[in-house]
Amino acid sequence: MTKDETQTPDGPDRDPEAVSRFVEQFAAQLVEAGMPRMPARIFVALLSSDAGALTSAELGEQLRVSPAAVSGAVRYLTQQHMVTREREPGTRRDIFRVHSNQWYEALGSRDSVLKRWENAMRDGVANLGEDTPAGRRLLETLAFFEFIQGELAGMMDRWRAHRESLFGPPRNGS
């Protein structure tokens, strides 16, 4: 092993510096898109691990952050359906896991958010009146959300078929 290659949970051929650069670069892109910084770093660390799962201690060590920072970030990521928390068999330690279909799951969870927004827009239109400038603006927003909702269902179906054509049937947990 060279000095740049160390034994990691993901195997002997990982260059920790290259992994760290990737984590920070992709996390920066997620931050630019609106994700909080620490959840972005945690998510990319999980995404880039071969197992797709790390403990809080492993995440803290890899990212050089406190257990509290990991805890807060993981709470955010679980609420967004981007990671799951599992108990390590035979221990009291939690493992945080990102699945191969995490983008699908995260986007699919937006379905309920869109429905709530649609209901709020309907209430707004009813309260403000369709004939007012504000009511028309809300009505257009409602139409947009309804359109996205309809397209999202079809898009998710097409993705499942496309994913299967590329990678075969989903395996348990992926």
CA distance 110 to 148: 11
Domain ranges of the chain: 16-98, 104-167
- pLDDT at position 1 is 38
- pLDDT at position 162 is 94
Domain 16-98, CATH among 1.10.10.10, 3.30.360.10, 3.40.190.10, 1.10.3720.10: 1.10.10.10
Concatenate the DSSP letters of all residues of 119-171 into one string: HHHHHHHHHH-TTSHHHHHHHHHHHHHHHHHHHHHHHHHHHHHHHHHHH-SPP
Task: Look at the pTM and tell me if it is higher than 0.75.
Answer: no
- pLDDT at position 4 is 40
Q: Digits of tens for pLDDT over the chain (174 positions)?
A: 333 433 345 556 779 999 999 999 999 999 999 999 999 999 999 999 999 999 999 999 999 999 999 999 999 999 888 899 998 888 888 999 997 777 777 777 777 788 899 999 999 999 999 999 999 999 999 999 999 988 988 998 999 899 999 989 877 555
User: Residue for token digits 């992709």?
Assistant: 26
Helix (H, G, I), strand (E, B) or coil at 3: coil
DSSP state, residue 14: -
**Exposed (0-12), middle (13-18) or buried (19+): which is 40, by Cβ within 10 Å?**
buried
